[in-house]
Amino acid sequence: HYRDFMKIVHGALKDDGLFLLHTIGGNRSVRGTNPWIGKYIFPNSMLPSVRQISKAIEGLFVMEDWHNFGAYYDKTLLAWHNNFENNWDKIKSNYDDKFYRMWTYYLLSCAGSFRARKNQLWQIVLSKKGCPERV
């Protein structure tokens, strides 16, 4: 449904507006997500590929910029994990051990996925008609 989403954004965006798409992406086109991620973290999610995003925006937008922060995102996830560990004693009365294991697994496995460059973190700036003077 990427194309449908982009059509809605296009219709809502002012003619001289900019749209920033901030998304985690994958290196290959897929039609589903990791079953564990889909069940426990992001239901009904999917990581788009460059091809899927490009196809969805073709003819609707001018790509002003596409930046990949993926090479650094493992550090963010490891910092989140460190904060989670350092504060667990303060919050553990609100959660069970299953949550602790699940969140630890999620943060560390995602950090590994970014470090291995299997996932990317993209910020894509799009305009309707182009605006080189603003970017």
Indicate if the pLDDT at residue 135 is higher than 80: no
pLDDT tens column, 9-52:
999 999 999 999 999 999 999 888 889 999 999 998 999 999 99
Q: Which residues contact 94 (CB under 8 A, 6 or more apart)?
A: none
Does residue 131 have an active-site annotation? no
Does residue 134 sit within a domain?
no
Q: Which of 21, 47, 57, 110 is catalytic?
A: 110
Does residue 117 sit within a domain?
yes
Per-residue confidence at 134, pLDDT binned at 50, 70, 90? Answer: low
- Exposed/middle/buried for residue 107 (C-beta within 10 Å: 0-12, 13-18, 19+): buried
Does residue 85 sit within a domain?
yes
Give the count of domains, the chain.
1
Does residue 132 sit within a domain?
no
CATH code assigned at 122: 3.40.50.150
Q: Tell me which DSSP letter residue 22 carries.
A: E
Extended beta strands in the chain, E state = 18-26, 62-68, 119-127
Does residue 135 sit within a domain?
no
Does residue 133 sit within a domain?
no
b/e map of 39-73 (b: 16 or more CB within 10 Å)?
Answer: eeeeeeebbbbbebbeebbeebbeebeeeeebeeb
Does residue 46 sit within a domain?
yes
Q: What is the pLDDT at residue 84?
A: 98
Q: Which residues contact 98 (CB under 8 A, 6 or more apart)?
A: none
Q: What is the pTM of this model?
A: 0.87
Full residue range of the structural domain in which residue 39 is found:
2-127
CA-nearest of 28, 23, 21 to 6 is: 21
